[in-house]
Structure 1
Amino acid sequence: MDFIYDRKKTAVIFKDKEYSYYELIKMAKIYSSLLNVNKEDRVAIYMENRPEYMGAVLGIWDKKGTCTNLDASYGSEQLVYVFNDSNPKYIITSNENIKNAEEAKEKSKSDIIILNVDEIDLSKDIVIEKVSVECLEKEDVAVMLYTSGTTGNPKGVMLTYDNIMSNVDAIKEIKMVTAEDRILALLPFHHILPLSFTVLMPLNFGSLVVILDELSSEAIKQNLQKYKITVVIGVPRVWEMFHKGILGKIKSSSATYKLFKICKSLNIMSLNKIIFKKIQEAFGGNIRFLVSGGAKLDKEICEDFYTFGFTMLEGYGLTETSPIISFNRLDNNVAGTVGTALPGVKIKLEDDGEIVVKGRNVMKGYYNKPEATAEAIDNEGWFHTGDLGQFDGDHLKIIGRKKEMIVLSNGKNINPSDIEVEIMKNTDLIQEVAVTENEKHLIAIVYPNFKVLEEKKIANAKEAIKWEVIDKYNITAPKYRKILDIVIVKEELPKTKLGKLRRFMLKDLLKGISLKKGDSEEVVAEKVVEKKVSTSKELNTQEFKVMSKFIGTLHDEIQIIPESHLEIDLGLDSLDVVEIITFIQNTYGVNISEEDFSRIKTVEALCQYIREKGGNFEEKEINWKKIFEEPVELKMPTSKYVMTTVNLLKPFFNLYVKLQKNTDKLQKNSPVIYVGNHQSMLDAFAFGQTLPKEVLKNTYFLAINIHFEGKLKKYLAENGNIILVDVNKNLKETLKIAAKVLKEGKNLVIFPEGARTRDGELQDFKKTFAILSKELEISVVPFAIKGAYELMPYGKTFPISGEMSVTILDEINPKDKTVEEIVKLTRNSIKEKIYN
């Protein structure tokens, strides 16, 4: 019986070139003629996606050999592992990978034969007795694939011809794909999902395959439109990419977004296709359905694609199950599930929720690893997936990986991927996030979207992500699921080719080890031991020595090397940036704006910038007094509605929130800097109630502009003694504005924690207020707020009734004190009051 035969039509399109079924079979026969192998001898395929890959698979099968499909991104060391593990007789590769193959052969001292498809003449005439490639015997090992190694060295998974055909036959039985379909191949062929469903199945069915040369949204769209694609098989990150782009455009118009939400609630496909016809056309206008596999897809993305007018079918499987175990159907699709069992597959859940399966699709075993095989497949033939699931009716839902579940000290089980999905919703600041446990609490490792941060001119990525993303998640999360710390990384998180996070690497990532997608456990271990130290020539330059010394004064016990990322590795905040910019200006005569500084990523790049722009070297201390004398534009807001607001709120603070005012130590001299802890939205209003009228009229509040967006709030700020600043764009200007307010004899209220407490605890104080106090010789008046957090914690829109207090504390004179001493004295004074 034939697996593939000449259908007198195009089989494959690649880079606009069409290959007929006859040409593909001829290619396979030429490759077959170069192989001298016996039944089930292994032949490795090591190349990028291209028609020659398909020809190589068919050529190996023509000789009854076993295809060993290798990741095209493997380096020579990984090839050596495969050569030693499975001893393939041949490796079929391309110009792109030939060098690695030759290096691996030399290192392993293997006698493997290397065939380069780019040096094989496919135009020559050959005699083909039968224009087809026959099926293998059912129990023949047709394919050997190396698992992605999410938990260590990859194992060779042996899949028989019957294993492969179990999935192909099942798809044929449920009539999902036909010979008329046009399938877009996005994913690398060394994985079983694309190998089975974008190579073997379509060639067996007689469908057309279009191989994508470049994985980008634009390239995908062009191919969808040009070749009238009907079926696309992708992984979640592909659909996440499209979803983000499409929804972003929809949200840019409030009317369109309202229409989208109406369509989503109505859930009528025929209506969706009419309303969002342009999206359909952008995808070529011929899509029958989209497929997501390889990892869990967010339910909301699946539902949103339905609203866009597409049927998104999610399935579930593993390399060891050839791959599909369960799949949603066109006529029975439930978002958030991975469908029902494929024909011939049995699924059950163990007592602990682990998914186990039995059927034609279950692998023969791991090559040369009988113990690992026995651990995976029990005596009754059930394959233990290691995944946890539950049934929604007859549809299967994936809960998470058994080994990846985080078990907290209180016994709570947490699936980190669920938290990651929640964090990623409604933010464009983050590109990737991984949640793990560190020192008995949850931590988020974040790879930011640096392009968006730059476009939004966000000077401090960690602060922005902490408050605008993680904090918003924490508000609604149960206490045991809250993220208590974040780590920003400057490289993509380690993943498999199908986008699965390699969680076993996260602990080492926290130690500062740079990890790559293909690293095995041995490579990771080497990197942990070696943890390379920079040998950059920059180490010995004057600029590096001067700048590293100065940066070291801002942060104690920090290792500074030329490659150190200014924000991620050194943790520079907005004030640090101002100080560095000012130091560079004083020392080298180089003027650099905060916006320009944000584009400079490393200490090395900063040193190079100084060399290119700098003049004579003369190290000087920062002269804040001189900076505060620089001109600054400031239109002082009027106090038009201050007293009206205070009077209107008096009943509220007397009857509902019983405010206790402790003002015995209040002196009415001006100007002073009032510094208090920040517990809730009540704080500023309560402090306004505490001050006498004559003092309040002369007192201004420093506030961040994002809290006063909208015409009404902005109007109230301009008429309510509130000075709005943008700390993300120009902190130096903010400092100059604050100084001008004080120099005009006005008092200034500052909450130096930067944001309201999220847990009721006192946070660290930023030193801005102390710099102003020291340089302008203006006293600090601390005030302690107590009870406000209990009445109105972060996330609450209205306070409960109860008691709170505001206490004015002893004035702190800056004379003969350092900035650090002023900060410490102020914080300790407040701390002592609120905790006693």
Structure 2
Amino acid sequence: MYETIPEFLASVANRYPTKYALYIRRFLRTTRFTYREVEQISLKIASYLLENGLKPQDKVLIWAPNMPEWVLALFGCLSAGIVVVPVGLHSTEEVVGKYIEQTRPKVLFLSKFYPIDFKKPEHKNIKIINLEDLVGLVENVSIKKMPNLSKNELGEIVFTSGTTGEPKGVMISHHNILFEIEQLLKTVPHFKHYRLLSVLPLSHVMEQVVGLMTPIARGGTIYYLPRINTVTIKKALRKYQITDLGAVPQMLRMFLDSIEYQVTEQGKSGSFNFALKLAAVLPITLRRQLFSKIHEDLGGKLYVFGVGSAPLDVKLAETWEAMGIKVVEGYGASETTGGVTANRIDDRIIGSAGKKIPGMELKLSSENEIQVKSDSVTRGYFENEEKTREAFTADGYFKTGDVGYLKDGYLYITGREKFKIVTAAGDKIYPEDIERKLNSHPDVWDSCVMGIKKDDGEIVHAEIILKPKAATKVEDIVKKINLELEPNQQIMDFSLWTDKDFPRLHTLKVDRNEVRSMSENTSQTKNKVTNTTISSEDTLKNILSKVCKIPGSSITDNSNLVTDLKLDSLKRVELVSLIEEEMGVELIEEDIDNETTLKNIKQQVSSHKKISYPYDLDSITKKLREPFSSYLRILLQDLFVFPILRFFVKVEVKGDIDFSRLKLPIILIGNHPNPPSDIGLLLSILPLRIRLKLAAPANDWPYRTQKYLINAILSNLLGGTFPINTHGKPVGKSLDAILDFIEDGYSLYIMPEGDVTPIGEKLGPLKPGLAQLFANTDVQFVPFYISGDVYGSFYRQKDEHHTYYFPHGFSKIIFTFGKPFTLLDKDENESMVTIKEKILELAPSL
């Protein structure tokens, strides 16, 4: 076993040096780090912090969403012996102020995409670093010798999620974390490929241990999302072929709601329900085949949901199991550095929190409180001896505050001691039991049960959120559920919650204290209905805030997107893509002009203008990647296309370029004077190693009508092209497809004008989306210029609608190649200038 986190990190870097560990795509730009890069950059961060005056056991705060740089900052601090204080993204400044007051940090890591006005006088000595800039900040830092650390070195202070009184900082040592990882590895099977999607907050120690360090110990790849919602999660599941997903029950419910909505819309509810019943007697492989379309929508490789943090509805878990995805529930706490009990992949009981993990001692008090002793248990609360003494028994067991029971070695959680309701009759009721019943109703999205003081005791009160198309009134739901509850559990009072969701803690649990406060201080009644207008407005402001990098409070209905918010053409692409992702609405990019205000955008969103592509881009690009397609394309090119073209055209190649020595993938980029012959001739001079994995984005007009579909088929079959949207509609999906090919190792040939080079001109205007894709990346561009008698053999002749190409005599075409270049350290505007200059440098004088 390792003594410290830096030892652990060095070991996994030696085992998997070139394998990718961390991955994120921010809009259309990919950032990924190999295991060796994670180790080296973390050491550079550690060296940078030490150079800037920090010492071992100094404190830093990380207050940002999940991203690879969050992980790098964590490992960098731990390597230097610096203590990390993780903060939930949605924590208030008041709460964070308390963390700062207790821990006195020297550095605060923030995200520049979540603007926070943090300029209070008492914080003026705290150095602020944007996580997104962190890697560039330490690029030229020399790695120094790291301090000697002990296994009991304090590594983190994780504050509990309570909102009343002073927050308690749980002290987590290097040994706590490493011991927990060691025990978890004994319970998790070793699969060949782990691809995990991290959606639970890294500010919680459970995600750090279960969703980060344990997968890293097995050489897994962890994917992060810049925006987390059902749309982005499902896209990521499909694209990255995710195998495991750590989730809270609410997330499973949202996915299932989406599936059931689609089934209902298609009129297949009856067959779906029949399939669920049939699946109960089938092995899991047949269940996955029975629900193959659902699995295809989830990527086809998702086998396990790891669930914790909140009570799991048994019916919800059984439905997912029936569809062929295993639901593995566990139990733990910040004070235990993650898991205490867990179901195993092949030994699980739905509804239980599983058996204790190796290395854990577990017992129940006389009041059935769960108590734990282990090397993973915290030494106590930071600078709070009183709370530390209260948290432990005389024989050293940590008192979790959770109530449960054991049956055949499996732990079942009854509820949280501090949330129990005590009736006038003295009965003790745990709200979680009632919530499970309520949430099992098909029309209930979520519920929160609490006690309301009445006479000499409390009565049971429920706040209920219905699904959007609920067919049952809330009164009737309560009546039905009361028939299933014990007499002392009866719901005596209830309200329909007026927002789309309950307020939540950073662990995504319902913030019961906030729900109680809001319930008591507002006039919620049974007759109120959910209002989503404010939520929609806030979402638009948040999106504009991210795109323009300004506080949302400064954006009003009358804010002009161009003159006030400085939204250029590149940012418009990002805006429409974010609106599509986060709100499920597709806008037309051309509708955003110099007169557009936030109010106009609201009107466009409210009209829900939907645009459907007349072709399936995902299907086209998938077929393009199939090995059979590549081999067939090369065969047809060599037997037919190239001989015909070369019969009419003599090709001369100029420039100092050795394709055999280039590191692939590359992007060939140049002018486009006479399609399609110039493309065919370009391909004919490329070596086989490039042509085997080569694709090209092309104007999508042939795909839009049956009349010209043969053009599209031939272009795809013979040239490896795929359609991109060039008609003023959202281009995000098209640009996304281009980046997918690059990530999969495909070289591209791109005509950056997006159309034919105008006759008599060296180069037409370039499409701005190209720079959006590749600015500040290290992908190699190979510029070329086509000159000579470009119209001699296949000349252009126009009618009133289109251009046609005819063989006409013999000619000579010259391909001049320039030296490869990258757009590293260049922004979008600089990239556009560079691309144009590199192409034109190769052009002869007119």
Cα distance 1:138–1:482, how it changes in 2: closer, same or farther (>3 A)?
same
- CA shift in 2, pair 1:502/1:175, >3 Å: closer
Structure 2 residue 227 is matched with structure 1 residue 222: no
Q: CA deviation at 1:444?
A: 3.5
Instruction: Indicate the residue corresponding to 2:473 in structure 1.
Output: 465
Contact 2:312 / 2:436 at 8 angstroms: preserved in 1? no
Aligned-residue CA RMSD in angstroms? Answer: 3.0
- Give the drift of 1:441: 5.6
The equivalent residue for 1:85 is 102
- 5 Å-filtered alignment, 1:106-505, equals 106=121, 108=122, 111-120=125-134, 122=136, 125-126=139-140, 136-149=149-162, 152-177=165-190, 180-249=193-262, 253-266=268-281, 268-428=283-443, 430-439=445-454, 440=457, 442-449=459-466, 451-452=468-469, 465-491=473-499, 492-505=501-514
Query: Are residues 1:14 and 2:37 paired?
Result: no
Q: How big is the shift at 1:119?
A: 4.5
Match of 2:528 in 1: 568
Whole-angstrom CA distance in 2 between matches of 1:323 and 1:135: 26
SS state of the match for residue 178, structure 2?
helix
1:249 deviates by: 4.9
**For residues 317 and 497 of structure 1, what CA distance do their matches in structure 2 show?**
16
Distance 1:248 1:414, change over 3 A: farther
The alpha-carbon deviation at position 495 of structure 1 amounts to 2.5
Matched, 1:512 2:521: yes
Following superposition, the deviation at residue 417 of structure 1 comes to 1.6
From the superposition, tell whether residues 377 and 190 of structure 1 become closer, same or farther in structure 2 (CA, over 3 Å): same
Q: Which whole-Å deviations, capped at 9, do the CAs of 1:476-532 have from their partners, x for residues lacking one?
A: 43433222222234234333122323333454333225xxxxxxxxxxxxxxxxxxx
Distance 1:567 1:229 in 2: 43
Match of 2:615 in 1: none
Does structure 1 conserve the Cα–Cα contact (< 8 Å) formed by 2:424 and 2:458? no
Question: Aligned partners of 1:256, 1:115: CA distance in 2, in Å?
Answer: 55
Matching residue within 55, 61, 81 for 1:64: 81
Return the match for 1:39 from 50, 56, 65: 56
Give the Cα separation in 2 of the matches to 1:312 and 1:494. Answer: 25
| Structure 1 contact 61–133 (Cα < 8 Å) conserved | no
User: SS state of the match for residue 487, structure 1?
Assistant: strand
1:221, CA displacement in angstroms? 1.4
One-letter amino acid matched to 2:197: L
How far 1:569 moved relative to its partner?
Answer: 10
Q: Distance in 1 between matches of 2:527 and 2:412?
A: 40
Contact kept in structure 2, 1:474 and 1:483, CA below 8 Å: yes
Amino acid at match of 2:326: T
Amino acid at match of 2:274: L
- Residue type at the aligned position of 1:3: F
**What are the superposed Cα offsets for residues 145-167 of structure 1, whole Å, 9 maximum, x if unpaired?**
11111554421110111111122
Given that 1:340 and 1:396 are in contact with CA atoms closer than 8 Å, whether structure 2 keeps it comes out as: yes
Aligned length: 509
Distance between the aligned counterparts of 2:525 and 2:477, measured in 1? 22
Match of 2:176, as an amino acid? N
C-alpha distance in structure 1 between counterparts of 2:246 and 2:300, whole Å: 16
Distance in 2 between the 1:363 and 1:184 partners? 28
**C-alpha distance in 1, partners of 2:507/2:370?**
21
The residue type equivalent to 2:44 in the other structure is I
Deviations 1:383-435 (A, max 9, x none): 01111111120111101111212121223222212212212223336554434
> TM-score, normalized by length of structure 1?
0.57
Distance in 2, Cα, partners of 1:298 & 1:147 = 25
Greater shift, 346-355 or 285-294, is seen at: 285-294
Amino acid aligned to 1:436: G
Amino acid corresponding to residue 100 of structure 2 in structure 1 = F
1:74 and 2:91 aligned: yes
CA distance in structure 2 between the partners assigned to 1:148 and 1:276 by the alignment: 39
For the pair 1:102 / 2:107, whether they are aligned, the reply is: no
How many Å separate the matches in 1 of 2:191 and 2:272?
36
User: 2:422–2:458: 8 Å Cα contact kept in structure 1?
Assistant: no
User: 1:480 and 1:451 mapped to 2: Cα distance?
Assistant: 31
1:9 partner letter:
K
Offset of residue 343 of structure 1: 0.9
Flag the 1:452–1:436 CA change in 2: closer, same or farther, 3 A.
farther
The answer to which of 20-29 and 35-44 deviates more is 20-29
Deviations 1:427-454 (A, max 9, x none): 336554434334256344435448436x
Question: Residues 349 and 377 of structure 1: is their aligned pair in 2 closer, same or farther, counting only changes over 3 Å?
Answer: same
Aligned counterparts of 1:480 and 1:125: Cα–Cα separation in 2:
64
Q: In 2 relative to 1, CA 45–466 (structure 1 residues): closer, same or farther, beyond 3 Å?
A: closer
| Structure-2 separation of matches of 1:474 and 1:135 | 61
Match of 1:51 in 2: 68
CA contact (8 A) 2:45 2:138 kept: no
The whole-number CA distance in structure 2 between the counterparts of 1:346 and 1:360 is: 10
Secondary structure of the residue aligned to 1:102 is: coil
Which secondary structure does the structure 2 equivalent of 1:396 belong to? Answer: strand
Structure 2 partner of 1:520: none
Aligned amino acid, residue 8 of structure 2:
F
1:187 Cα offset (Å): 1.1
Name the CA distance, whole Å, in 1 between partners of 2:269 and 2:84: 53
- Contact preservation (8 Å) 1:142, 1:159: yes
5+ residue gaps in structure 1?
Answer: 457-463, 514-558, 572-836
Cα distance between partner residues in 1 of 2:449 and 2:128: 40
Alpha carbons of 1:142 and 1:11: their partners in 2 closer, same or farther (altered >3 Å)? Answer: same
**Would the alpha carbon gap of residues 118 and 218 (structure 1) be closer, same or farther in structure 2, given more than 3 Å must change?**
closer
Instruction: Note closer, same or farther for the CA distance 1:120–1:466 as it changes in structure 2 (3 Å cut).
Output: closer
Contact 2:24–2:32, Cα closer than 8 Å, also in 1: yes
Q: Distance in 2 between matches of 1:469 and 1:127?
A: 62
Contact 1:29 1:59 survives alignment (8 Å) = yes
CA contact (8 A) 1:436 1:506 kept: no
* Structure 2: distance between partners of 1:333 and 1:361: 23
Q: Answer yes or no: is 1:30 the counterpart of 2:44.
A: yes
Find the aligned partners of 1:134 and 1:342 in 2 and give their Cα distance. 33
1:580-632 Cα shifts (integer Å, max 9, x gaps): xxxxxxxxxxxxxxxxxxxxxxxxxxxxxxxxxxxxxxxxxxxxxxxxxxxxx
SS at structure 2 position matched to 1:366: coil
Aligned 8 A contact 1:31 1:59 in 2: yes
Letter in 1 for 2:354: G
Which structure would you say has the larger Rg? 1
% same residue: 25
